[in-house]
Amino acid sequence: MSGTTEYTAQLDVAPGSDSRLTVRSSLEGLAIDWPAPFSKDADEAAPLVAEIDIEAEDGLGISGTWENRATFDLLWKNSGLELTFEELYLGAQTLTNINLEALDLGDRWVLTTRSERAVGRLEIPNDLSLVTADFQVLRLVRNEEAAKEAPELLTLKQQLEAFRALDMANWPDVDIAISELQLNGESLGRWSFYLRPEAEKLKITEIEGRLKSLTLQGDMTWSVVDNRETSQFSGSVTGDALADLGGLFGSDIPLSNKQSNIELELDWPGRPDEFELASLSGEVSARLDDGVILERNNSAQVFRIFNLLNADTLWRRLKLDFSDLYERGVAFDAISGKARLKDGLLTMDPELQVVGPSGAFKLSGSTNLADEVLDMRLVVVLPLTQNLPLAALLMGAGAPIGGALFVLDKVLGDPLSKLTSATYNVTGTWDEPSVDLRRVFDTGN
């Protein structure tokens, strides 16, 4: 804090009751460099009314109302302090009944907290060598309406100034463990990570999140690269059903499968929470086994690309009758592929391969993740049997497709596959792809 401010004080003394001192101030002239919502500029008015009980049991009691910031009760003791926020205003949110207790153990402070949002314990050594935070439960709330609002746009210079003002070089190392992380009431499982700040860089290392059947592991960096604020993530998602990621994104994932393995090397401009598909760069590789691509339209944007592969959008436009697959979606034995990203443009490297009980295909080319525009090529491989004329399929006669199982790499390498395959140009958008026959008897090699 710095500056000076005017205040008024009133001392109430009455026989048979505790004496009370009431202090009132607008705090104008006082600059406070504390974490939000308690920070303020010197010329800003932030009316505060505090009642001081000098005869409180075990210490000094202070009850206060700080306009648009908090109402609180503080008990300052020789061994530490007890602080209760009856109300704490954080932007559009109001938190209630937050209980904090800080205990001075000589070489460190132990802070325990209990509220509707968090139950946990922090140990803060006097030398700030390593802070540990251990939460039994941490409940986060995603404000969907606020997320839709256009954020305040800052110039690159302003972004760098704000980043450097954080002075990360003076932050302590922090180890964080969360036994149960919740988002909008839905459990995201157990999480842990380490914060390792450096000059103009924050490393978030050894991230591990257990989301039901999935494990997310990796490292993240928030730093300045080429004079621009940048976030980077390197890691993996492994385990069973990819749909278990739905809680993290607050949306259903249009896919049901039994095994998942995804490797990520991603970077984007801005803070870690400013993740946007339109500005994403890096590499992604994935292998998904034994599942169904479901027909859903309410998915988060990051998973909407699966809509391209469901029966409604792509397969029906090929005019092939997958009647055995329509009820739930398009079944697959394996989906595998690798892609490169540059400023939101995703390019298959070299292709996405899908093998299913009714055929197989590979998808190459690129798509823009921002406007969802397609510029791709599709190779379809179908079984050729006495009861399944290829010409009828290619002409859209809609003959039912049988249940032969294919391994795509072998099928596309087999000379006979040229008799059962065709290539298509795929343009348009994810929701409305345009599929045009290019050549028959062609594996696309």
* pLDDT for the residue 315: 53
The strand pair at 60-66 and 48-53 is best described as antiparallel
The answer to which of 83-87, 267-271, 330-334, 399-403 has the lowest mean pLDDT is 399-403
Q: How far is the CA of 32 from the CAs of 12, 72, 254, 271, 365, in angstroms? A: 29, 18, 49, 25, 55
Burial class (CB in 10 A: 0-12, 13-18, 19+), 183: middle
Give the list of residues 6+ apart from residue 438 with CB closer than 8 angstroms, or none.
377, 422, 423, 424, 425
pLDDT digits (tens, 9 = 90+) for 341-385: 999 999 999 999 888 776 677 889 999 988 889 999 988 776 544
* pLDDT for the residue 415: 46
| pLDDT exceeds cutoff 50 at 85 | yes
**Cα–Cα distance for residue pair 56/20, rounded to 1 Å:** 10
* Averaged pLDDT for residues 189-199: 95
Q: How far is the CA of 256 from the CAs of 99, 214, 312, 343, in angstroms? A: 42, 13, 17, 29
pLDDT digits (tens, 9 = 90+) for 12-65: 887 777 778 999 999 999 998 887 788 889 999 999 999 998 778 888 899 999
| pLDDT exceeds cutoff 80 at 335 | yes
* pLDDT for the residue 176: 97
- Residue 318 is classified by DSSP as G
* pLDDT for the residue 35: 76
* pLDDT for the residue 329: 66
- Residue 321 is classified by DSSP as B
Q: What percent of the chain has pLDDT over 90?
A: 44
* pLDDT for the residue 328: 57
**Cα–Cα distance for residue pair 212/81, rounded to 1 Å:** 39
* pLDDT for the residue 444: 59
* pLDDT for the residue 56: 80
With beta carbons less than 8 A apart as the criterion, state whether 381 and 411 touch. Answer: yes
**Cα–Cα distance for residue pair 412/364, rounded to 1 Å:** 14
Query: How does residue 401 score in pLDDT terms, banded at 50, 70 and 90?
Result: very low
Residue 84's nearest CA partner among 98, 63, 66, 105 is: 98
Higher pLDDT, 170 or 399: 170
Q: Which long-range contacts (CB under 8 A, 24 or more apart) does 193-197 make?
A: 195/171, 197/168, 197/169, 197/171, 197/172, 197/173
pLDDT digits (tens, 9 = 90+) for 200-233: 899 999 999 999 999 999 999 999 988 889 999 9
**Cα–Cα distance for residue pair 230/50, rounded to 1 Å:** 43
* Averaged pLDDT for residues 246-250: 80
**Cα–Cα distance for residue pair 191/207, rounded to 1 Å:** 7
Domain boundaries, the chain: 1-104, 110-275, 290-445
pLDDT digits (tens, 9 = 90+) for 143-153: 655 445 545 56
Q: CA 46, 47, 51, 52: dihedral to nearest 10 degrees? A: 40
Give the list of residues 6+ apart from residue 300 with CB closer than 8 angstroms, or none.
249, 250, 251, 253
| pLDDT exceeds cutoff 50 at 402 | no
Mean pLDDT of all residues in the chain? 81
* pLDDT for the residue 389: 40
Q: Which of 43-57, 246-260, 287-301, 388-402 has the highest mean pLDDT?
A: 43-57
Cα–Cα–Cα angle for 18, 20, 26, nearest 5°?
165
Q: How far is the CA of 303 from the CAs of 174, 208, 231, 245, 383, in angstroms? A: 33, 22, 21, 10, 30
| pLDDT exceeds cutoff 80 at 406 | no
| pLDDT exceeds cutoff 80 at 154 | no
For the four alpha carbons of 119, 125, 128 and 132, in that order, the dihedral sign comes to: negative
**Cα–Cα distance for residue pair 393/407, rounded to 1 Å:** 21
Query: How does residue 274 score in pLDDT terms, banded at 50, 70 and 90?
Result: confident
* pLDDT for the residue 405: 30
* Averaged pLDDT for residues 387-416: 38
| pLDDT exceeds cutoff 50 at 396 | no
Tokens of 248: 């993290």
* Averaged pLDDT for residues 327-341: 82
Query: How does residue 409 score in pLDDT terms, banded at 50, 70 and 90?
Result: very low
| pLDDT exceeds cutoff 90 at 1 | no
**Beta bridge partner(s), residue 130:** 173
* Averaged pLDDT for residues 416-427: 68
Query: How does residue 408 score in pLDDT terms, banded at 50, 70 and 90?
Result: very low
